[in-house]
Amino acid sequence: MNAAEAATNLELTSKIATVVNLFKSEFPEIKSDLKPWHNDPETRELIDPDSIDIGLHFPGRSKLFQSRSILIQIRFYEDPINNQVSCIGVEAAGFDHRGKQWRLSTVEDWRCEGETQPKPEASAQLKQFCRQIIEVFNN
């Protein structure tokens, strides 16, 4: 779900802003996109209602991240017994003009996989961002 649509209260809006600022503090030139998904029927069928999605766009292709854009998908699980929502992980994917180049899943094994991969220092930084995102949403 687009982050702009998910921001339904002050607490959630603040957490989304914190996530964007985590990236902007390290990469001030990055542009955030709180509506990375189109609002058409075909796209809406593919959107996971149990996630918050944020697009991050570099001014050009980042050699460090081997991509032009990064899609961040923050995944949630709602426990039906106690109605508690918790962040279960983060999915990140890097894109350029050729399409998806790599992906990282904290739900799986925390490894970057794909045609190209971020440089080792960028991969480590991305994993640290993911840890911080999980912490933001679970506190």
pLDDT for the residue 9: 85
For residues 107-135, give the mean pLDDT: 94
- Higher pLDDT among residues 12 and 48, named by residue: 12
pLDDT for the residue 5: 80
- Give pLDDT tens digits for 17-39: 999 999 999 899 999 988 877 66
CA-to-CA dists, residue 104 to 40, 112, 113, angstroms: 27, 5, 7
Question: ∠ at Cα 24 (22, 27), nearest 5°?
Answer: 115
Domain layout of the chain by residue ranges: 3-138
